[in-house]
Amino acid sequence: MGIDIERLDTHTDDETRRDKTRRYGTTGFESPAADYLRESVDLSRRLITNRTATFIYRMASDAMIHEGIDPGDIVVFDRSLNHVHGDVVVAICDQTYLCRRYNEVRMGNRIQMTLQAANPQYPDQMIMEGDSTFICGVVTSIIKLKHRARP
Amino acid sequence: MKRAFAHCDVNTCYTSCERVFNPKLEGKPVVVLSNNDGCAISVSSEAKALGIRMTAPWYQIKDIATQHGVIVLSSNYTLYGELSQRFMDILGDFVSPDEQEVYSIDESFLDLTAFQQLYDLNAYAHLIRNRVRKWIGLPICIGIGSTKTLAKLADFWAKKHPQFSGVCNINDMSEAVLMRRMARTEVGEVWGIGRRSARKLHDMGIHTIEDLVRADQQMLQKRFGVNLGRTIRELNGIVCHELTTITSPKQQIVSSRSFGNLITELEPIKSEMRYFVSQAVTKLRKDRSVCGLVGVFLMTNRHRTQDRQYHKSTYIRLPYPTDDLYTINHAAMCGIEQLFKIDFNFKKAGVCLMALQPASMTTQDLFAGGACEDRRERLNVTLAEMKGRFGPLIAQIGNVQAGSKARMRREHKSPDYLTNWHELPLLY
């Protein structure tokens, strides 16, 4: 049992779909489309490739507002992915979950890793050797609900 | 070829699950309480250091907790269940389904025998451990041994001694080192040796695992029964317990819980029982099993020393193995009526379905079949579907307290981070 996304997924196999048509199927002529039935596009499959390692959080600050990530947006991230320069990541910093851009900047002959917000009010955070900042995973999509169903 | 079993389990599972979503709990003493906030069922190492023990009743530790700022949480089984599922899935990626036993919510046995020619098992175990940590944020330890009992013992050592960095492999140890470790570990730590047996063994001068392994096996088996005999053979590397995998059905199904308040009358207890029965039967049908024996138990609160105490159970053998809610419910009601006595403050009851076997293996009883059975089956299926779609409380037999779940005391529960759109964890 998970959130709806998970439940949606259980009935999307090509096979199940055809079986259903068969079960409730036609008594007269078989539908000419029967052989062409394909799985309809499924958001949860598109957005989540590794279900086991994917987590869904909600953005609560305006730190990434110039990246188009607004407060209230749904953030999907995959903990199995390794972050590289330029990724939007989820990190734990000072015991708080942050959403930031991960950057590597060459400084002399060493590489400085930073977490950058997309809002000038938030300063860059350097990741130092031995500090407790921990990058959990890479953000794979942002979901904005445009028409919120009434509660 | 030597067998290789691995025992994997999550370190202080429930507190670790809470920490995944609430990093502020990291490094702090945390305690998770059982249903109805009864007693401590998960104690972080920091809280252990303050002297808080597992299963300590809440009212006994309340003072220490407030004094030292221990963070106390009610159990959030929805969350733990979801993470447990992911944990088992990750382990499942490393072996085939008949090489994995899901032993409890936070423990799993793997049979790695076939892998030892392909991989260095220690490296393989570290790979598993690191993946669980990275993918779902849970810290685990892994023990490897030539039997399940040894694997579990290895896991105990892996947890206890940081020098193993989370993976302890007994198959790699020399006989001398193994014996030295066994000589330093209490006999009560062995899987399958309960507190009472441990005490009896102590009285006989058997204090450590080494004492047990070197003792007269036949004499002990005569005194303690065949199970201890098996345990000793397993400690000596002789496999007596194979994995119980997804393909082999469960041994028993228990559904029980403490009541929100003390109950003195039969009717409300029966109402609670109906709920337990329906939970247990749902599980039974999901496993495609049938049961032949229904156990029922009823007890008072043994921590209320001012109360008269009563702990009793009984068993009802069913006329034929079944998964029929009505038959099982009827049996449980008969059982609880037998057990109930007036003038006691009851705290807890439960039902246990036993003598389980796969539904497909049942031989049709002469008196069991017929049209009536067919209609019953259709009703059972409909009920199960309704529960699946609308939740477990939608339809029940007889008078079930619809508020049972709501009444449960869970004052300090964390949000349903993984299963409720309105309670998603937040990013800043």
Q: What mean pLDDT is reported for chain B?
A: 86
Q: What is the mean pLDDT of residues B87-102?
A: 88
User: Tens of pLDDT along B333-359?
Assistant: 988 988 888 888 999 899 989 878 777
Q: What is the CATH number of domain A53-143?
A: 2.10.109.10
SS (H, E, C) B53-76: CCCCEHHHHHHHHHHHCCEEEECC
Write the CB contacts of A99 (distance below 8 Å, at least 6 apart in sequence).
Answer: A57, A59, A63, A64, A69, A75, A88, A89, A90, A139, B427, B428
Q: In what order do the strands lie in the sheet with B289-300?
A: B253-263, B346-358, B289-300, B311-322
pTM of this prediction?
0.71
Chain pair A-B, CB pairs under 8 angstroms: 68
Q: Do A99 and B134 touch (CB under 8 A)?
A: no
> Which residues in A lie closer than 8 A to residue B420 (C-beta atoms)?
3
Minimal C-alpha gap between B228 and chain A (Å) = 39
> Which residues in B lie closer than 8 A to residue A57 (C-beta atoms)?
424-427
Of A124-133, B4-13, B328-337, B376-385, least confident by mean pLDDT is B376-385
Q: Do A98 and B427 touch (CB under 8 A)?
A: yes
Q: Does the structure show a pLDDT above 70 at B394?
A: no
Q: Do A57 and B419 touch (CB under 8 A)?
A: no
- SS3 of residue A74 by DSSP: strand
Check residue A83 and report its DSSP letter. Answer: P
User: Tens of pLDDT along B95-149?
Assistant: 987 888 888 888 999 999 999 988 999 999 999 999 999 999 999 999 999 999 9
Query: Chain A 14-53, CB below 8 Å of chain B: which residues?
Result: 50, 52-53
What does each C-alpha distance from B368 to B326, B365, B397 come to in angstroms? 14, 5, 21
- Nearest-CB residue to A79 (from B23, B135, B418): B135
Minimal C-alpha gap between A24 and chain B (Å) = 18
- Which of the four pLDDT bands, split at 50, 70 and 90, describes residue A34? low
Q: What is the mean pLDDT of residues B358-374?
A: 54
> Which residues in B lie closer than 8 A to residue A80 (C-beta atoms)?
134-135
Minimal C-alpha gap between A63 and chain B (Å) = 7
Q: Which residue of A has its CA nearest to B92?
A: A52
pLDDT score for B366: 41
Q: Tokens 């040894």, residue?
A: B150
How far, in Å, CA of A63 to CA of A119, rounded?
Answer: 5
Write the CB contacts of B369 (distance below 8 Å, at least 6 apart in sequence).
Answer: none
CB contact A115 to B (< 8 Å) = no
Query: Chain B 65-124, CB below 8 Å of chain A: which residues?
Result: 78, 81-82, 86, 89-90
Residue spans per domain, chain A: 9-47, 53-143
Which class for A54: exposed (0-12), middle (13-18), buried (19 or more C-beta within 10 A)? buried
CB contact B28 to A (< 8 Å) = no
CB contact A119 to B (< 8 Å) = no
Q: What mean pLDDT is reported for chain A?
A: 80
pLDDT score for A149: 54
User: Tens of pLDDT along B25-84?
Assistant: 999 999 999 877 788 999 999 999 999 988 888 888 888 889 999 999 998 888 988 898
Q: Do B134 and A79 touch (CB under 8 A)?
A: yes
> Is residue B284 within 8 Å of residue B309, measured between CB atoms?
no
User: Tens of pLDDT along B235-254?
Assistant: 999 999 888 765 555 678 88
CB contact B389 to A (< 8 Å) = no
| B407 vs B418: which has the higher pLDDT | B418
Q: Do B418 and A92 touch (CB under 8 A)?
A: no
- SS3 of residue B156 by DSSP: helix
pLDDT score for B149: 96
> Is residue B121 within 8 Å of residue B171, measured between CB atoms?
yes
B250 φ/ψ angles, rounded to the nearest 5 degrees: -70, 160
Q: What is the mean pLDDT of residues B365-382?
A: 60
Q: Which stretches of B302-408 are DSSP H helices?
A: 325-339, 371-390, 404-407
Mutate to test the interface with A, among B84, B286, B428 (most CBs of A within 10 A): B428
Number of alpha carbons in the 13 Å side-chain half-sphere of residue A23: 6
Question: In A38-73, at which residue ranges do the beta strands (DSSP E only) sit?
Answer: 54-59
